[in-house]
Structure 1
Amino acid sequence: MTEQPLKEKRIDVVKTFYAKLDQADASLLDLFTEDVELFFPKFGTAQGKSSLGELGKRFALEIDKIQHIQDAFRFLSDGDTLVLEGQMRGVMQNGDRWPTSQAGRHHFCTVFEFDELLIKRLSIYLDPDFNLEDKKRVNNYQQGVKTQENKT
């Protein structure tokens, strides 16, 4: 398979992953190699499909619903690596919605490494303080900062 069609198929795999993730569809595990390597902030690095399931269980303790905004996805590709910059929103188990108007948008970045059309490495970079419970740091970083959302 030539590089461009392979890249497009891998982008489709990533979009399928997020669609299944948003629906809490366990068949998303079929998109990964058995020995997938996973990184997520505060969770650390783990290996194997069971680590994805464990992270999903921990997410479910806090998050009721999540939606990745696929219209806002931006992809960069280099060889077997695909990087996604995106935005998401959701609802916590206590009913709080995020992002809040105070926080604007909730951005994330994920690095995918592929073995053909299976994901063999998934490194997710985001702030897991979805509903801004870490008030001390939120206040520290927002003091005097004018964001695009605050200017309008």
Structure 2
Amino acid sequence: MNHIEIIRKYFFAVTARTPQNIIPLFDEDCEVFFAHAGILKGKQEFDKFNLSLIESIVELTFDMDNFNYTANGNTVIIEGQESGKLSNGFSFKDNRFCSVFEFAPETNLVKRMFAYTDPNFGEK
């Protein structure tokens, strides 16, 4: 599987709310960054964070057909838009984000993912 296919698999799993399909895409010692969580280290921390996201975000979709990919070696940057609904009932649409994925060459798994988005999804 190439890097773009792995990234698309990640976003499909996020949309489907299936963290069990997200974790196998990541290296054991991965680093993951989200603005409202800081840097998460390792699969275990990331998995715990994913489970908390499922509780706070009840629906999340991505406009994957219009993702803008920039690749250089083992690094892929994605610009895109996401829409969804939070557990408090707040809905958001076309929230822009940028995610940086870095792959471990020896495993072809994600070793670093930094996600840059509005942590409040436009909610005031």
SS of aligned partner of 2:3:
helix
Structure 1 stretches of 4+ moved >6 Å: none
The share of aligned pairs that are identical, in percent, is: 29
TM-score (norm: length of structure 2): 0.90
Please give the per-residue CA displacement for 1:49-85, whole angstroms capped at 9, x wherever unaligned: 1121122133223210100110121100111110000
Task: Determine the structure 1 residue equivalent to 2:35.
Answer: 41
Q: Which one has a larger percent strand, Structure 1 or Structure 2?
A: 2
**Structure 2: gaps spanning 5 or more residues:** none
Matched, 1:15 2:8: yes
- More relative contact order, 1 or 2 (CA 8 Å, 6+ apart): 2
The CA RMSD over aligned residues, in Å, is 1.5
Corresponding position of 2:49 = 55
Counterparts of residues 1-150 of structure 1 (less than 5 Å): 9-25=2-18, 26-99=20-93, 105-116=94-105, 117-133=108-124
Contact 1:80-1:114 within 8 A present in 2 as well: yes
Larger Cα Rg: Structure 1 or Structure 2? 1
Contact in 2 for aligned 1:38/1:51 (Cα 8 Å): no
The unaligned stretches of length 5 or more in structure 1 are 1-5, 100-104, 134-152
Structure 1 residue 95 displacement after superposition:
2.7
Contact 1:36–1:119 (CA under 8 A) maintained in structure 2: yes
Q: What is the TM-score when the length of structure 1 is the normalising length?
A: 0.74
